[in-house]
Chain A
Amino acid sequence: EAQVTQNPRYLITVTGKKLTVTCSQNMNHEYMSWYRQDPGLGLRQIYYSMNVEVTDKGDVPEGYKVSRKEKRNFPLILESPSPNQTSLYFCASSLWEGGTGELFFGEGSRLTVL
């Protein structure tokens, strides 16, 4: 089954404790991206990757890091989480198709930073 898998789905942590949210897709997609969803703000892009070893900042990259060492994986790293990073996070992937591909989303990871 074609899917994007995120882990963990739910996490409560404390300020400053490093954490990683993993994302894996099995569709051989070139493009992957992370979004955060906050009430009244819709989804905002954090980072994206157009292929292995190619990553770039989205609209709200502060406080996050990513890596793309393999095509299927695109982890999101919070080196020192803060309460304003409490949010619902989505990983997504798509075929490149010149930048017009349909995005397939993971089920979301709800993160609470105390």
Chain B
Amino acid sequence: AQKVTQAQTEISVVEKEDVTLDCVYETRDTTYYLFWYKQPPSGELVFLIRRNSFDEQNEISGRYSWNFQKSTSSFNFTITASQVVDSAVYFCALSEVIQGAQKLVFGQGTRLTINP
């Protein structure tokens, strides 16, 4: 069965530090998609990235970067030079198509606090 594990329940760092959020997944499929979502204190869920299982290139978007490693079933998220506005709960998710339907499974989330 699908499973996403975010072992870090809470992380607290000082502003400008780099921080990495871990995500490990389990799946028996060869075709799947991985996502990261951000949930700021206001509560909405904001899409950050989607990556398919055939594309292992790392991705960088400004201060955000993602490291996808199929060998370790991990899709880690790094924020460089963190800012207070990065404080949020971050969710990693795995998407598969099972019997013709999209199945999206979320990890438990990591609460990131950036202190001034």
Q: Name A's B-contacting residues (CB within 8 A).
A: 31, 33, 35, 40-45, 48, 50, 56, 88, 90, 92, 94, 96, 98-105, 107-108
Known contacts: A104-B47, A105-B44. The answer to whether A99 contacts B108 by CB under 8 A is no
Q: Please state if B108 and A90 are interface contacts (CB–CB under 8 Å).
A: no
B84 at the binding interface (Cβ < 8 Å): no
Report the nearest B residue to A56, measured CB to CB. B101
Report B62-106 CB contacts with A as 1/0, cut-off 8 Å.
Answer: 000000000000000000000000000001010111001111111
CA distance A35 to B96 in the complex (A): 16
Report chain B residues within 8 Å CB of A88. Answer: 43
Q: Sorted from nearest, which 4 A-B pairs have the closest CB atoms?
A: A99-B97, A99-B102, A105-B45, A42-B106
Interface centre among A31, A45, A100 (most CB of B within 10 A): A100
| Residue on B nearest A101 in the bound complex, by CB | B102
The answer to whether B108 and A33 have CB atoms under 8 Å apart is no
Contact A100–B50 (Cβ < 8 Å): yes
A74 to chain B: closest CB distance in Å?
Answer: 14
**Chain A residues whose CB sits within 8 angstroms of the CB of B107 once the complex forms:** 42
| From A33, A40, A108, contact of B104 by CB (8 A) | A33
B1-13 CB mask vs A (1 if < 8 Å, else 0) is 0001010010000
B4 cross-chain contacts in A, Cβ below 8 A: 42
Residue-wise, chain B 35-58 has the 8 Å CB interface mask toward A (1 for contact) of: 101000001110100101000000
Contacts of A40 in B (CB 8 A): 9, 108
Closest beta carbon of chain A to B47's beta carbon, Å: 5
